[in-house]
Homo-oligomer: A and B are copies of this chain.
Amino acid sequence: MEAALSGGDTAGGDPGRRPKRLPRTVRERQILDAAVFVFSQHGYHDASMDEIAEVAGISKPMVYSYLGSKEDLFSASIRREATKVIEAIAETMTPGRTPEMMLYDGFVAFFTFVSQNRDSWRVLHRLAANQGGPFFAEWAEMRDRVIEVVSTLMVHQGSEGGLPEEIAVQGEALAAALVGATESLADWWMDHPEASPRKMAARMMSLVWNGFGDILRGDYWVPPHKR
């Protein structure tokens, strides 16, 4: 339980007998690491501040002193992890490419992130989305960015379809479904981790780009350079 978090309890290779007394910024990082871990294991309510403090290798009052209440702590955890995901995906979202490739690369980036940050993903997925109050706001921001991208793609390309209003609503709905499908597939992947991130991304593309109709005809999606 305790190992593998935050690079151990003592900072640096210093052999002194008093490894304690670390500066605030370091402790805050450790606390957040612990919080993400514990929240991901037990969910918001079943996670206790005592356990978070213990995992962080510090006493409870320090947690309160640095990060505030349990809500504040959870909020901070979400914000930090959400930023990670967003940045991981945003890096690949360079403009001037085909929507198809943007989507594919976005999926690859996402699944790569999930495979390397399971705890982060667990915290974000459905913990943040579910609880009422301030957590939802953090989550919604990330979701809105996805919706934005999807809507942009639609307006950019297929604006023949009708009023901009209708397109926007349609885009929102599709983005929601898209995100849900991706999340769900990520969950499934955690139980069947044989496939590579690229393979998972290709599966997503088969479903949401080609569509089920094509799939039933045996027409799965493959990257352009292999066609």
Contacts and interface: CB of A to CB of B under 8 A. Distances in A.
Given A103-B212, A154-B216, 7 more contacts: A158-B217, A159-B218, A161-B220, A177-B181, A177-B207, A178-B212, A209-B212
A7 interface: no
A57 interface: no
Interface of A: 42-43, 45-46, 99-100, 103, 126-127, 129-132, 153-154, 157-161, 169-170, 172-174, 176-185, 187-189, 192, 195, 200, 203-204, 206-218, 220
A182 B188 contact: no
B185 A153 contact: no
Given A130-B126, A208-B208, A216-B99, A177 B173 contact: no
Interface centre among A103, A212, A218 (most CB of B within 10 A): A212
A124 to B, nearest CB: 12
Contacts of A127: 130
Nearest to A153: B216
Contact of A185 (B161, B169, B177): B177
A46 B45 contact: yes
Contacts of A130: 43, 126-127, 130
16 contacts: A43-B132, A126-B129, A130-B130, A158-B218, A172-B192, A173-B195, A174-B215, A177-B207, A178-B212, A179-B184, A180-B182, A208-B212, A209-B211, A209-B212, A210-B213, A211-B211
